[in-house]
Amino acid sequence: MMRVAEKAKSEGNIKIVEDATCTFCGCLCDDMVLTVDVDAKKITKAKNACVLGKALFLNYEEEDRPFALIGGKEATTAEAVEEAAQILANARFPIIYGMSDTTCETQRKAVGLMDMLGGTIDSTTSVCHGPTGMALQGVGESTATLGEIKNRADLVIYWGGNPAESLPRHFARYAVTAKGMYTPNRKKDRTIVNIDVRHTKSVPVADIFIQVKPGADFELLWALRALVKNRHVDPNIEKKTGVSMKTMKDLVERMKNCRYGVLFFGMGLTMTRGRHFNSAAILSLGSDLNEYTHFIATPMRGHGNVTGADTVVAWQTGYPFGVNFSRGYPKFNPGEFTATDMFVRGDADAGLILASDPGSNFTQAAVDHMKKIPMIVLDPKYTHTAKLARVAFTTAHYGINVPGTAYRSDGVPIELRTCLDSKYPSDEEVITAIYRRVEQLLIAKKRSKGANNKRQKAA
Ligand code: SF4
């Protein structure tokens, strides 16, 4: 496990941890200054954190819960590892799901476990920016780091997202009021555009707000692409999208004539009508604009390390989510190998949920199937999913108790500093123990199958 150098000063029972990282959202702000009461095991101050970051740190409390539960009864971690390994080794079509709130080191082990079992691995990407992962394979992307955007972007367009509430420091740290090398006057050096179906809390920071009719994002994106290429656009597009031709042409002129433009897009595009077509359209619009100026298009990611989940699964299998190993090589098929679909159809006969709570947000049909099959849950909290699990492990909290690596939403890896110890194991330790035991069980199974075959031949 990777460990970064401690950057902490202690005085009595008070410890100050500098440059800690908040893992609440994809901004992964790594400028936290945490004041820790070591005796009380509490974080008492979280300087630089936004309201969500403060909620994460200041409400942190290690719950006094059993290390593990088997069938609702208290068990040791070792007993739970044995039970979990037996479930997985005997399953015909197991799945691991979640992974967006844990370290890359754990995600890597989870991919190895499913590879060995010939099962399926999927992350929360499949219910957020999965369509973007699919679109990227088709049309590529023009991209940049958030640092480059902060220093250079003079036209920032938010489309189908509400960072004021979901990524609260996105404006101040990266794209609106941040002071950049070529944007020293902060917001005065930038034009901010917000495109959405409704008036969100992100709209007041924008210089221009364009309200598009629900379900018409693709049509608007395609019209903008046509206008960028000086093609004729049917005037009926105004009725279809609710956006006037004058507004579209004004936006196109701004996009072509800016020095450095960026399109940030959210789940308003990926989880509405059009899905991966919407993502492909906005990524293509960003690429098209490079004929005139420097332009990028990049998704805004919600969970702390959901970008890490995509990155790790992609570097190990070639695909970002929804990957199945039953043929002995990775196969990617969203809709077939994505968790919610596998549960709704009743395909999965065992599930391991890693740092996620699908029991609280999947469809009722998916949850009903999860109740019927043996589920294994690894989570610091006693979640809805943990309540319906056969085996529930209590694990330490990444970024507070556990060090490691997480990927910011722009794909930049950030090392996590710890500030408090935990009596619970990390999910990486639990997954590693399960992996080792499953390996032994599979070897034993193979040997006994071989011996049976020999006996049958001899008979
Ligand atoms: S913006 Fe996100 S990562 Fe940054 S402090 Fe707020 S919740 Fe944490």
pLDDT at site 5: 47
How far apart are the CA of 410 and the centre of ligand 1, in A?
14
Helices (H), 318-387: 339-345, 358-361, 364-372, 384-387
Class for the domain spanning 68-127+304-394+426-452: alpha beta
Question: Any idea where the domains of the chain sit in the sequence?
Answer: 8-58, 68-127+304-394+426-452, 130-299
How far apart are the CA of 28 and the centre of ligand 1, in A?
6
Q: Ligand 1: which residue has its CA nearest to atom 8?
A: 53
pLDDT at site 98: 97
Model pTM? 0.93
Ligand 1 contact, 22 CB (< 6 A): yes
pLDDT at site 455: 83
Ligand 1 contact, 414 CB (< 6 A): no
Q: In this structure, which CATH number among 3.40.190.10, 3.10.20.30, 3.40.228.10, 3.40.50.720 belongs to the domain 130-299?
A: 3.40.228.10
Atom index in ligand 1 nearest the CA of residue 51 equals 6
Ligand 1 contact, 168 CB (< 6 A): yes
How far apart are the CA of 416 and the centre of ligand 1, in A?
14
What is the helix (H) or strand (E) element at residue 298, kind and residue range?
strand 294-299
Backbone torsions φ then ψ of 182, nearest 5 degrees: -105, 10
How far apart are the CA of 59 and the centre of ligand 1, in A?
15
Q: Which of 19, 21, 23, 27 to mutate to test the pocket of ligand 1 (most atoms within 8 A of CB)?
A: 27
pLDDT at site 215: 96
pLDDT at site 83: 98
Q: Which of 21, 22, 60 to mutate to test the pocket of ligand 1 (most atoms within 8 A of CB)?
A: 22
Ligand 1 contact, 164 CB (< 6 A): no
Ligand 1 contact, 152 CB (< 6 A): no
pLDDT at site 456: 83
Q: 175, 189 in Cβ contact below 8 A?
A: no
pLDDT at site 7: 67
Backbone torsions φ then ψ of 110, nearest 5 degrees: -65, -40
C-alpha 329, offset from chain centre: 24
How far apart are the CA of 161 and the centre of ligand 1, in A?
16
By residue count, the chain amounts to 459
How far apart are the CA of 50 and the centre of ligand 1, in A?
6
Ligand 1 contact, 169 CB (< 6 A): yes
Please state, in angstroms and rounded to a whole number, the distance separating the CA atoms of residues 111 and 45: 36
Q: What are the mean pLDDT values of the chain's consecutive 10-residue runs (459 residues total)?
A: 57 91 97 95 97 96 93 97 98 97 98 98 94 94 96 98 96 97 97 97 98 98 98 96 98 98 96 94 98 97 95 96 97 97 97 97 97 98 96 97 97 95 97 98 90 81
Of the candidates 426, 457, 435, 405, which has an alpha carbon nearest to the alpha carbon of residue 30?
405
Atom index in ligand 1 nearest the CA of residue 25 equals 2
Atom index in ligand 1 nearest the CA of residue 304 equals 3
How far apart are the CA of 285 and the centre of ligand 1, in A?
29
pLDDT at site 6: 56
What is the helix (H) or strand (E) element at residue 122, kind and residue range?
strand 120-123
Please state, in angstroms and rounded to a whole number, the distance separating the CA atoms of residues 159 and 407: 22
pLDDT at site 446: 87
Atom index in ligand 1 nearest the CA of residue 23 equals 3
pLDDT at site 454: 82
Please state, in angstroms and rounded to a whole number, the distance separating the CA atoms of residues 384 and 90: 25
Ligand 1 contact, 27 CB (< 6 A): yes
